[in-house]
Amino acid sequence: MSETNLSPSNRVPVVERLLTANEEVAADNRVQFHQRQIKVGNIMASPGAGKTTLLLATIAAMPGRKIGVIEGDVASQVDAEMIATTGTPVVQINTGGACHLDAPMIRNAAKALPLEELELILVENVGNLICPVSFDLGQDFNVGLLSVPEGHDKPYKYPGIFEAVDLVVVTKADLLPYLDFEIDTFRTLVHGLNPDVPIFVVSAKTGEGMEDWVAWLETRLGI
Amino acid sequence: MSETNLSPSNRVPVVERLLTANEEVAADNRVQFHQRQIKVGNIMASPGAGKTTLLLATIAAMPGRKIGVIEGDVASQVDAEMIATTGTPVVQINTGGACHLDAPMIRNAAKALPLEELELILVENVGNLICPVSFDLGQDFNVGLLSVPEGHDKPYKYPGIFEAVDLVVVTKADLLPYLDFEIDTFRTLVHGLNPDVPIFVVSAKTGEGMEDWVAWLETRLGI
């Protein structure tokens, strides 16, 4: 946003400068990752939507790929500990209260990863359907997960995330028999916000749909 | 927070003033509700945890009580429309992007409710385990919902909400047979953060546990 768009009030310019600072660091992150030919994906979803479980299944399904993981949580390192059991390089970010990751956090976390050994970094953002959307991290692509138990009406209520993503993954598909999740309604709502976005239906538990997700990731790696 | 605690930096005083403004309005909301002998509950949970479904079951289970509802969402009025089908007075707040309700929003929403007819207002906060905790609305009690599909590890990752609530309701208990939700582990984690908080296990779908929740609400109404 150009200087001439700044509001004359006291508060708005502060917000503008904060956003700009994040965007500058994000742009630099992107340059740093591209120079090393690393692709970065930002994975966003509600708490408990199955982000870490999908990451674990993805690591298992792509043994030939050099993957690193950055875990974002308000507190704890339980997710990073689970990823570490696979031998995958992983860094935990604790935001201490913030409801999203930002570009400086990613810059610092990346310093703790063996970047020269990696070709793909998957970032698990803080469990939240709202805040993470507004902060560029320097990623190449955004993935939005929605778990079947959350319900097919969520695009009505959280349109921003469905507009921002390059892929939607419906997780916990193994629970479809027990819940009133209308997948066709969900597709219609999502495509009303983001007409061409692919939507995969996946169960990391049973393996259903994992081949679509892995093939999509391979395409993002340029193969 | 007193003036002497203000940081000399440019940014912190702005945040302090914003918080104080919210707290002043919250205190006034509390006075206004108490003068009318209305109790107010703030219900917080992730997206899709079953807040609206629990509200609908609660309204059905308490036909003798004069209940009003304030619905908070980033966008849409689908939740308020569902509540309205029961004949319950309801107001929808759309935050337009903010990840929580605040006290001025509640003050404005309350103007659209028939306060003289109500004894209990249930506020459904924006679907989020992080942001709503920090903003007093003028409520009498806080309820935190966690749905079985979200997993029993959430107190590790979102400690703030479990510390802040007066009651924890585990929702979607009908899904327990299909998921690895360790209820005893969850109880231990929650009580590590908030030693005496009651934890009810409820299914609004089957009615399991609803009597505990309704009895708890009746106690809050002072009966």
Residue A123 and residue A142: Cα distance in Å, rounded?
A: 10
Q: From residue B173, give the alpha-carbon distance in Å to each of A216, B50, B201, B202, B219.
A: 35, 11, 6, 6, 23
Is A2 part of a structural domain of the chain? no
CA distance A143 to chain B (A): 17
> Among A127, A150, A178, whose Cβ lies nearest the Cβ of B129?
A127
For B58, the 3-state DSSP assignment is helix
Check CB contact under 8 Å for A130 and B99: yes
**H-helix segments, chain A:** 12-35, 51-61, 78-84, 103-110, 154-157, 159-164, 183-193, 210-220
Residues of B in contact with A178 (CB under 8 A): 174-175, 178
Optimal mutation site among B130, B152, B178, interface A, most CBs of chain A within 10 A:
B130
Question: Could you list the residue range(s) of the whole structural domain that residue A46 is in?
Answer: 7-220
Asked whether residue A1 is domain-assigned, the answer is no
Q: List pLDDT tens digits, range B50-98.
A: 999 999 999 999 999 999 999 999 999 999 999 999 999 999 999 999 9
* Distance to chain B for A45, nearest Cα, Å: 10
The number of distinct structural domains making up chain A is: 1
Kindly indicate the confidence band of residue B135, based on its pLDDT and cuts at 50, 70 and 90.
very high
**CATH classification at residue A54:** 3.40.50.300
Is the confidence at residue A211, as pLDDT, over 50? yes
Domain membership of residue A39 (yes or no) is: yes
pTM of the model: 0.90
pLDDT tens digit sequence for B16-54: 566 689 999 999 999 999 999 999 999 999 999 999 999
With an 8 Å Cβ cutoff, are A158 and B74 in contact? yes
Question: Half-sphere exposure of residue B157, counting CA atoms within 13 Å on the CB side?
Answer: 28
Q: For an interface test with B, which of A82, A154, A157, A193 has the most B Cβ atoms less than 10 Å from its Cβ?
A: A157
H helical segments located in A98-182: 103-110, 154-157, 159-164
Query: Is residue A55 a part of any domain in this protein?
Result: yes
In the A/B pair of chains, how many CB contacts fall below 8 A? Answer: 114
pLDDT at A1: 35
Tell me whether residue A211 is in a domain.
yes
ipTM for the predicted complex: 0.87
Structure tokens at A113: 């990863």
